[in-house]
Amino acid sequence: MSGCKNWKEMKDVGKPKKWQDVPMGGIAYGASAENVETGQWRSIRPVWNEDECISCMLCWVQCPDRSITTDENGKVTGVDYFYCKGCGICAQVCPKKAIEMRPEAEFA
Ligand code: SF4
Ligand code: SF4
């Protein structure tokens, strides 16, 4: 392990001569984004129309936030508004126009 414990010590000893002298950096743990309600950023909301949907899964594939929900058979069931940021990609790719983007204010 490195003989240097922190940046103050690094400053004292100067530039590290080998990688073992570089102090340990911070650690970001995975899965922390799961608790972030990114849906609060949304200004327009995708509204899914079950009657028009043919469950082609294009919206599910393209959604950058994994916000299109499905049942155990892989059929689309709607939108998870906890994560959906309202980017509108799902509505753009839907071949049946089964998703309509509406102002979030309508649902306040
Ligand atoms: S892209 Fe449209 S038709 Fe296809 S699953 Fe999504 S909402 Fe349904
Ligand atoms: S609006 Fe964007 S984030 Fe929301 S469900 Fe559609 S593709 Fe996903």
| Number of helices followed by number of strands (H, E) in the chain | 3, 4
The domain limits of the chain are 1-30, 33-107
Å from CA of 88 to ligand 1 middle: 13
Pick the CATH number of 33-107 from 3.30.70.100, 3.40.50.300, 3.40.1350.10, 3.30.70.20: 3.30.70.20
Question: How confident is residue 2, by pLDDT bands cut at 50, 70 and 90?
Answer: very low
* Pick from 27, 91, 105, 10: nearest CA to 53: 91
pLDDT digits (tens, 9 = 90+) for 54-68: 999 999 999 999 999
Å from CA of 33 to ligand 1 middle: 26
Q: Give the three-class secondary structure for 42.
A: coil
Mean pLDDT, residues 2-15:
60
